[in-house]
């Protein structure tokens, strides 16, 4: 182990999110334009480079590693990477996990479990098959539900992440809650963030602030805040009447930048110190410049010394402020 990563605001960085591909088998309307141009393969970190980079972060104190994308399970050979990373579990790393759209989970649940993955986040915004097709453009609800069932059956804890979308899943709020309770799934709602150009889709038309969502919930249920944390940005509440735990990720109505403990690396090895800022550091060059990791570690430390205080996303003046140009699939949500 080397010295831990501590940023200028005395925050310890112990959570790394790594996007392993920019490709996805869905085209969610709030995430990607339908016709995206993807990166050439040579620009992507190889599986070996991903391993070296993540291992360096673990040596520098990262305790939680979340693999994301694009869709991480469409990256060819990705199980080799998960299997490799499992050697760090209990040796610095506390948790190896992923965020997925669930489309490939039926096939991968068991090997993921064998590699030490115990929790998985599955993104799912609606339980209506027609609306599911509409929002994902290319996805099949049935396949995702089979993926969730497979993850549960191998013993994984599944958390559903739903983006709160006005005029879309607002009408399904109580159905989603009931379903999650019945299926024993954790459920977290996320505010839609201004990332990437969406063509004809307008952010403010989609934005359903979670304070409004909570007000709707309060018409039927009593919510009380919990101290439970999973090392991420979600804040959790208990639904008094059902005992259910509900998460809220509210980058717009209430950010939690002061306790930010994470950084993100894209599939090309760009280290973003904040999801909502453009500053970044190139880790691919030091990875490719030398087989030793000294240059890589120095580049990581230098970048952490520039981690900003927080993002500037803001819709409060009925206009979009703080937008970043890259899509969520680029940085890895
Ligand atoms: N393909 C995987 C998945 O579907 O979970 C991982 C990558 S996806 C970019 C990660 C998460 O980001 C998903 O839950 C998705 O709904 C969310 N997301 C994408 N664009 C977003 C945006 N503009 N605002 C908020 N969440 C967004």
Best CA proximity match to 249, nearest among 203, 192, 191: 191
- Ligand 1 centroid to Cα of residue 157, in Å, is 19
Q: How far apart are CA 163 and CA 172, in angstroms?
A: 12
- Ligand 1 centroid to Cα of residue 329, in Å, is 7
Q: Please state the atom number of ligand 1 nearest to the C-alpha of residue 31.
A: 20
- Ligand 1 centroid to Cα of residue 328, in Å, is 6
Residues lining ligand 1, judged by CB closer than 6 Å? 24, 30-31, 68-69, 71, 99-101, 123, 161, 163, 190, 192-193, 195, 328-329, 333
Q: Which of 29, 70, 163 to mutate to test the pocket of ligand 1 (most atoms within 8 A of CB)?
A: 163
Count Cα atoms within 13 angstroms, Cβ side, for 50. Answer: 31
Q: How far apart are CA 242 and CA 222, in angstroms?
A: 10
- Ligand 1 centroid to Cα of residue 172, in Å, is 19
- Ligand 1 centroid to Cα of residue 333, in Å, is 5
Instruction: Tell me the C-alpha to C-alpha distance, in Å, between residue 139 and each of 103, 224, 303.
Output: 8, 35, 37
CB 279 within 8 A of CB 305: no
Strand partners, 263: 16
pLDDT of residue 234: 87
- Ligand 1 centroid to Cα of residue 160, in Å, is 12
Neighbour-count burial for 234-251, b at 16+ CB within 10 Å, e otherwise: bbbbbbeeeebbbbbbbb
CB 192 within 8 A of CB 165: yes
CB 255 within 8 A of CB 190: no
- Region at 243 (left for phi over 0; alpha for psi -120 to 50; beta for the rest): left
- The per-residue pLDDT for range 265-310, each reduced to its tens digit, is 999 999 999 987 889 999 999 999 999 999 999 999 999 999 998 8
Tokens of 323: 């937008």
pLDDT of residue 147: 98
Q: Please state the atom number of ligand 1 nearest to the C-alpha of residue 69.
A: 7
**CA 119, 107, 30: angle at the middle one, nearest 5?**
65
Tens of pLDDT along the chain (333 residues) come to: 789 999 999 999 999 999 999 999 999 988 888 888 899 999 999 999 999 999 999 999 999 999 999 999 999 999 999 999 999 999 999 999 999 999 999 999 999 999 999 999 999 999 999 999 999 999 999 999 999 999 999 999 999 999 999 999 999 999 999 999 999 999 999 988 766 665 555 666 788 889 999 999 999 999 999 998 877 778 999 999 989 999 998 877 666 788 899 999 999 999 999 987 889 999 999 999 999 999 999 999 999 999 998 876 665 555 555 566 666 666 656
User: Is pTM beyond 0.75 here?
Assistant: yes
What is the residue with the minimal CA distance to atom 12 of ligand 1? 333
């Amino acid at each position: 182990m080397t010295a831990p990563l501590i940023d200028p605001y005395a925050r310890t960085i112990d959570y790394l999110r790594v996007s392993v591909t920019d490709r996805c088998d869905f085209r969610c309307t709030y995430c990607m334009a339908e016709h995206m141009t993807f990166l050439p393969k040579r620009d992507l970190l190889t599986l070996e480079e991903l391993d070296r980079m993540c291992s360096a972060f673990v040596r520098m104190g990262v305790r939680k590693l979340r693999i994301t994308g694009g869709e991480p399970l469409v990256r060819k050979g990705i199980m080799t990477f998960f299997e490799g990373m499992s050697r760090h579990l209990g040796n610095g790393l506390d948790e190896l996990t992923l965020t997925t759209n669930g489309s490939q989970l039926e096939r991968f649940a068991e090997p993921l479990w064998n590699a030490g993955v115990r929790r998985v986040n599955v993104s799912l915004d609606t339980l209506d098959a027609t609306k599911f097709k509409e929002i994902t453009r290319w996805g099949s609800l049935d396949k995702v539900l089979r993926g969730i069932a497979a993850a549960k059956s191998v013993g994984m804890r599944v958390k559903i992440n739903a983006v709160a979308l006005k005029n879309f899943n607002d009408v399904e709020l109580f159905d989603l809650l009931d379903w999650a309770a019945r299926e024993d799934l954790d459920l977290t709602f996320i505010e839609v963030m201004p990332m990437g150009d969406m063509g004809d889709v307008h952010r403010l038309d989609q934005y359903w602030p979670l304070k409004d969502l909570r007000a709707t919930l309060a018409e039927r249920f009593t919510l009380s805040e919990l101290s439970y944390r999973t090392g991420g940005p979600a804040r959790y509440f208990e639904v008094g009447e059902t005992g259910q735990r509900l998460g809220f990720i509210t980058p717009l109505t209430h950010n939690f930048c002061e306790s930010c403990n994470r950084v993100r690396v894209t599939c090309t090895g760009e280290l973003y110190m904040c999801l909502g800022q453009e500053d970044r550091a190139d880790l691919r060059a030091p990875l490719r410049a030398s087989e030793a990791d000294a240059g890589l570690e120095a580049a990581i430390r230098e970048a952490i010394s520039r981690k900003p205080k927080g993002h500037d996303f803001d819709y409060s003046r009925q206009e979009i402020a703080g937008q970043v140009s890259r899509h969520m699939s680029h940085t890895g949500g």
